[in-house]
Structure 1
Amino acid sequence: METSTASTYAFVEDLRAEGVGTVLDRVLGTYGCDTLTVAAAYHRARDVTPHGPARVTLRRDGTHFVPPADLFGGLRLTPPVQAGAEEEPLREVRRRTAERGAALHGWTVFLHNTTLGLAHPDVTQENCFGDRAAPADLCPAHPEVRAYAVALARSVARLGVDAVVAESLHHGTFGHGYHHERSFVPLGPLEDFLLGLCFCPHCVGHAEAAGVDAGAARAEAARAAGLVLDGGDPRPWELPETVAAYVRTRTDTVTSLAATVAEAVAAEGSRLVFLDLTGAIKGYADGRPTGPLAVDEAWRTGVDPAAISTVVPGYAVLAYAQDPERIAADLAAYRSALADGCSLRAVLRPGVPDTDSAAHLAAKTAAATAPGRADAVDFYHYGLVPYPVLDRIPVALKER
């Protein structure tokens, strides 16, 4: 059963630079959290790191542990490894958090991996035009990707973490399939969504097994997206029924993968927390999500919160919004949709673009964790915001 009520996300690099003890003193002592959530496997990024050893940090795909031979032996997909992984930094963090009676969560990025996608393009998502143009997005329907996800999950669980926080355990989107993306075509929401759909043989086969005409869906997606590529204006948001039927089959793919990964994690003595990124898709850029609540648009990445909550013990959502009322509505809707017994966590950003003061963060924390909403609150991210912003966390936690 989940006992963690508040955590701060962090990178292994933060712990190395400042010292495990120093970070734990801040997170568990000064800030008042009872959990540290550390990236065990991460993706490529360029981050502004205000109190890091470098003020701008370049990150690479990879794990902070050496992949166990018994789990990855015979698999074609093996994760790249971060520098210093042989030192097993997370085992040291596990020991130090246990000494303080705190929980440790292993934050794991699963199917967003540019290095693997470039090396093995056949396991990435294939768009309606037949392009393998999203190397960061491994397809959750591909059998080898699913085997990779299970092995990765078991590896992180073996580190002794109390929970494996699963990021990107679903389909990817067109707007985040690579880095330094460019488009001088005025893609609207419809065209952007259609270009992100996967029509690889495995996704097509799954849809056809469910009685859906995948060929017709692919042709209609290509036709609709092609109109703007040929110089037309973006079309109003309305999925053609052939495409909508195809899209509905994707939720079974993601739910069954989540179930398999959750079982693998449980077999290693840990528990899975499924991280739903819909809140970031809607509010990442400016913290001003509009339109339907996040729970009602999770289907865009193949996520069915209600179904997934029956196969995982924990669920987390990114509450990336400035307005406490929006956060309250989003969390209440998720709580209503999730199955009884599935814990719910809300991830908040304590600084820009979502939050401008300690009082503001406190109001959002209270909105997220009121009765009938989230069971726990997490703060993103220790190494990415200045210390004065992190100092808002203890004020916020006092208002729960």
Structure 2
Amino acid sequence: MDGSVYVYVEDVRDEGVAQVLDRIAGYGMREITVAAAYHAARDVTPHGASRVTIRSDGVHFPPPPDLFDGLRLVPPMQAGARDEPLAILREAAADRRMAVHGWTVFLHNTTLGLANQDVTVQDCFGGRGFPAALCPAHPDVRLYAVALARSVARQGVHSVVAESLHFGAFAQGYLSERCFVPLGPMDEFLFGLCFCQWCMRRATDLGVKAEVAREECARIVGGVLDGDPPAQGEVTRAALTAYAGPEVVAYARARSETVTSLVSEVASAVSMEGSRLTFLDGTGHRKGYADGLPPAGLAAHDAWQLGVDLVALGDLVPSFGVLAYARDAARVADDVGAYRRSVGNDRELRVVLRPGRPDTDSEDRLAAKVRAVKAAGGDAVDFHAYGLVPYSVLNRIPGAVGRKL
């Protein structure tokens, strides 16, 4: 089965291009997915030079002037970006006949959000407490996303892997977060909805009573913040209708037009640059990232909560990424199968697995999940991520894909 290993530029810089690529090739993998544009983070990197790596918001290449001149939003440059690390990596990969994909974080950018708060999510109270979340309805954000997509495609990558090219979740609005109020899942969902002028206008144009939806969200969330008991249970359309009313559900569903139209623009822009788009739906991350134990609802069925309409995108995007962050192989199969039914049989499905904690405790478990991906209709397995786990964990990959070291 085809597939790649996710890598960070900082990891390659620490260990050396040749060493990293040769190790990955030794696992039997002929592709890498490199973080061309990423977000701020602090990662424990077991085999890195400092063992802890600080990552910044921004791109690992100089932003092309013809794409960003005149735009309000321009991505910050990462340290060493002028040394063209992506070009060096691409050339070394080509020498080994390895393909390179450009992993691109689009709308999660704290640096840009803090400097331009009016382009971030605006909650039902009118606050801008989500500096990491750029709103996909804002015209400046949409121009930025298209330019960023084109600039990554110009790096000569086989595909642009689009992360956070949709609305974000409440819990990912900033770097460090504290909440001592017991918000339930539905309260968090309502609190995370964007009611900026651009989102309100788009919803109103679709026949939604946007102001009624905002008032209902403010009433419900405000009550919980004042001490009312939080709602229990998973977020479903039926439960949300009963809890917040039909206008709130209609408003949430209207967001899919914003995301679908933006993804369409980005996919076309990438194609113009001679590459193609892989759309990475963040729902699997939101459900299983922390412990590998996602709740019952399948990611494909819950993608609407981020404004993602997989059926509509299936007509627009050639390739999809599935974040299968689950310990159980049967759950992985269920998630992959649901995506396959949603996007159609003629779209590529690339399934992202984690070879180590918290999802995987052995090579046998990883191999079972690889088999589950294949049986459920997945086309490729990508492993996340090279620099975040020990070599002993990475060494599970060749056995899991049927290529022993």
> Per the shorter chain, which TM-score range?
over 0.9
1:99-147 Cα shifts (integer Å, max 9, x gaps) = 2221100000000000000000000010001000000000000110000
Contact 2:163–2:280 at 8 Å: present in 1 too? yes
Structure 2 residue aligned with 1:392: 396
Structure 1 residue aligned with 2:101: 105
AA matched with 1:311: L
1:149-193 Cα shifts (integer Å, max 9, x gaps) = 000000000010000000000001110100211111000011110
Cα deviation, residue 341, structure 1: 2.4
Alignment of 1:1-400 (within 5 A): 5-28=2-25, 30-236=26-232, 238-239=239-240, 240-370=245-375, 372-398=376-402
CA–CA distance in structure 2, aligned partners of residues 376 and 341 of structure 1: 14
AA matched with 2:212: A
AA matched with 1:16: R
Contact 2:294–2:326 at 8 Å: present in 1 too? yes
Which has the larger displacement, 226-235 or 266-275? Answer: 226-235
Structure 2: tracts of 5 or more residues without a match:
234-238
AA matched with 2:179: S
AA matched with 2:379: D
Cα deviation, residue 340, structure 1: 3.8
Q: Secondary structure at the match of 2:131?
A: coil
Q: Secondary structure at the match of 1:6?
A: coil
1:200-252 Cα shifts (integer Å, max 9, x gaps) = 00000000000000000000011111111011110245322110000111011
CA–CA distance in structure 1, aligned partners of residues 114 and 313 of structure 2: 30
CA–CA distance in structure 1, aligned partners of residues 160 and 166 of structure 2: 15
CA–CA distance in structure 1, aligned partners of residues 112 and 347 of structure 2: 32
Cα deviation, residue 51, structure 1: 0.5
Contact 2:27–2:403 at 8 Å: present in 1 too? no
Cα deviation, residue 399, structure 1: 8.0
Q: Secondary structure at the match of 1:297?
A: helix
AA matched with 1:24: L
TM-score w.r.t. structure 1 length? Answer: 0.97
1:53-97 Cα shifts (integer Å, max 9, x gaps) = 111111110100000000000001000000110111111111111
CA RMSD of the aligned region, Å?
1.2
Q: Secondary structure at the match of 2:321?
A: strand
Q: Quick one: percent identity of the two aligned structures?
A: 60
Cα deviation, residue 148, structure 1: 0.2
CA–CA distance in structure 2, aligned partners of residues 328 and 291 of structure 1: 13
CA–CA distance in structure 1, aligned partners of residues 402 and 396 of structure 2: 10
Structure 1: tracts of 5 or more residues without a match:
none
CA–CA distance in structure 1, aligned partners of residues 293 and 284 of structure 2: 10
Matched pairs, number = 395
